[in-house]
Structure 1
């Protein structure tokens, strides 16, 4: 009798275990999609699930890889693992133990990923993994260059722009445009130097002075073959500034406001500020990269949330010379319209509107889940640096040029000041550009129009270009051009 009772107990326990296993399988989370992209800010992986799941990560070396375990999760049937992109050489999936799905990212370099975070979405939450960098690991540079084929050089030796072939737009949405634009920039730079040297030659020929000049492209730009004037006479200072490979590009940090779980303002027809700002930022980056002497850096080139203080850090790490944060304004008054430009103020706002806007933009970190206390550690030192540097005055000067250029696109106001957290950087001039009112029905339509986005981007670039022309930093194309023009006018080196 006692033996029969023990047998019944075992059967019941087995049934309970099977029931629990069946329940777990029925309620296990499922990995429905895995995406991998790379761009100007680095490499990004998104692992979309149907429900939130426990996640464990582990970084390994020799070889370098990141391991992500999902206890209680399983891969959806037919899921496709992405191909290599950016720093990630390959993606593998397996099951180290029953009930646990493992995804392994093989890395080309020992780059530490940013802290993983869950991002809500319409199709379910996604685990976001990001590896900072330019999205182009050193080990892959030769292969990437192999996709760029230079057209045959004519007998005249004119500079040629490489043609990009076999580029997958899904894997690299902006890479092809950037490579072509930078090559075009290099070709334009060569022509610019040659033209300036010729002008200086004409000026010196009139006075009987001669010197030789060697035209080269700045080292940061792609190499473009060209034929310099044979033994063209030019002033010695032009030879020193241009022939030496010390010319560096000026880096324009372009910050697309909001992103990820922070949509920003939403227009009457549902257009989201984060989408508009990203589109304008990408177009501005394209135009910047096509400008001789300039190079663009995007703080984000995908729909991802970045804390406000982190944006300035990214720009600083990119050694940016100027910081431009792109936004689209909103107001309760739906008839409000026009673009505006803001700079940092440590002594209060210049208007109630500027103060309200700064408070609204600074609240973006709260939406993203960032604790305000965590941003106060470095704030005091940054503010002290700002009061002791000339960057606030430089910011206002640059903002004035941008505002003037935007006035040729549409209605604008004066440059305003307020305590914007995203502009708290003492390393470079910084401004926040409100490209228009997304809350205005007509401007919402314009802000979503690629043709208007090109006009706005061109106006911002024109203002930045004017600022650097008026105050050319040493060792840049702008300084070399100013020196050559002064030499051509007979004024000597500045």
Structure 2
């Protein structure tokens, strides 16, 4: 039976499986994944996910590293994360939203792997359905053939729109600011050491508070790159800032470090060479966001040597540094910062050539005291006030110099 199943699946793996149901003329309710389990070893591993109704799904393979991606309609994952902990053939398992109408499970393998079985079957009581995935080890050559022989449309590549509220579009002359809540959806980011709070929740709550505060200032219009728990690729975040002619891009994060005694805010600007190992390590982790979500790695086209573009980048970098200095000036004696709080590294999300950008580490979820502050409403409002003051000073300085 396994041989026959393997032959059938090899032909059908990239086909969409199962019906997609929706209410007539209405928005379909998300599926509920209410249970999961994983068994097996590093030769063969089975994953079972329980759903309240039949899920449509599709399967794809991605190389570097070897991953299996399971795309689903909008799904609420209601089971304990421990039920789907990595084991057997898989060293990492992620799942979550990819956008308003889609979700994804990403299985990162320890070696080349393929699905011998990928099917949905009814529960014994007929009330629910289960997705059954049987993975087995394979050769590098067969995995490469699976990657090469597939075609797919990534749901994360859907058109992304910003969260500027309807009826509140920027007026001519408004100073526009993109407020970027780091992580989201399938990419949870760091996990709090004490309360197990997810970084994506911290950044979204702070982004909303900051945008609200900025929007109370005359002549300033802030918008959110995401206003819900959804995944955005790094390039989509940059694209949104440029599409809406942002004069600033502020990306918010709250990472974790192995050194749990380190605490305080840090401001990062873009640089091809990292200022130190901590900055380099952090940039490397943040730049893995797309990989975590099961995005294909697409080679960037070679940049055309353009002296005007190079001058634009240099000017933008200078503006970014000025913004960072204004932020740290506001924080002085008000907000704790790490040693050498202005650092730089090659963050992909800061690479817009014409939008001054900073990445602000609000604090570290690996530190118990920082975690308490990150979850404190009053501290969040204080930070938003100080950042708004910094933005106003930056804007006045740029305007005074003809920018």
Question: Do the aligned residues in 1 keep the contact of 2:160 with 2:236 (CA within 8 Å)?
Answer: no
Q: Which of these two proteins has the greater Rg computed from alpha carbons?
A: 1
Partners of 1:45 and 1:294 in 2: how far apart?
37
Partners of 2:22 and 2:352 in 1: how far apart?
41
Q: Which runs of 5+ in 2 are unaligned?
A: 1-16, 33-50, 59-72, 74-98, 107-128, 132-154
SS for the counterpart of 1:262 is coil
Partner of 1:47: 30
User: Displacement, 1:358?
Assistant: 0.5
* CA gap 1:414/1:131 in 2 versus in 1, 3 angstroms: closer
Between the two structures, name the one with larger relative contact order (CA 8 Å, sep ≥ 6): 2
Partners of 1:278 and 1:358 in 2: how far apart?
20
Deviations 1:22-42 (A, max 9, x none): xxxxx97796999x9xxxxxx
SS for the counterpart of 2:252 is strand
* Equivalent residue for 1:394, pick from 286, 311, 319: 319
1:471 matched to 2:398: yes
Partner of 1:62: none
Question: Do the aligned residues in 1 keep the contact of 2:178 with 2:222 (CA within 8 Å)?
Answer: yes
* CA gap 1:457/1:361 in 2 versus in 1, 3 angstroms: same
Q: How does 1:324-339 map onto structure 2 within 5 Å? A: 324-339=250-265
Question: Do the aligned residues in 2 keep the contact of 1:299 with 1:311 (CA within 8 Å)?
Answer: yes
Partner of 1:376: 300
Partner of 1:314: 240
* CA gap 1:386/1:340 in 2 versus in 1, 3 angstroms: farther
TM-score for both structures, normalised by structure 2: 0.60
Q: Which runs of 5+ in 1 are unaligned?
A: 1-26, 37-43, 56-72, 74-113, 137-174, 183-218, 222-246, 480-494
Larger % of strand: which? 2
Partners of 1:423 and 1:271 in 2: how far apart?
25
Count of paired positions = 277
* CA gap 1:115/1:30 in 2 versus in 1, 3 angstroms: closer
Partner of 2:389: 462
Question: Do the aligned residues in 2 keep the contact of 1:253 with 1:297 (CA within 8 Å)?
Answer: yes
User: Displacement, 1:52?
Assistant: 3.5
1:118 matched to 2:45: no
* CA gap 1:353/1:54 in 2 versus in 1, 3 angstroms: closer
Aligned CA RMSD, in angstroms, stands at 3.7
Deviations 1:143-171 (A, max 9, x none): xxxxxxxxxxxxxxxxxxxxxxxxxxxxx
Partners of 1:124 and 1:288 in 2: how far apart?
47
TM-score for both structures, normalised by structure 1: 0.50
Question: Do the aligned residues in 1 keep the contact of 2:163 with 2:226 (CA within 8 Å)?
Answer: no
User: Displacement, 1:414?
Assistant: 2.8
Larger % of helix: which? 1
Partner of 1:271: 197
User: Displacement, 1:411?
Assistant: 1.6
Q: How does 1:158-307 map onto structure 2 within 5 Å? A: 220=170, 248-268=173-193, 269-307=195-233
* Equivalent residue for 1:414, pick from 330, 333, 341: 341
Partner of 2:249: 323
* Equivalent residue for 2:330, pick from 405, 409, 414: 405
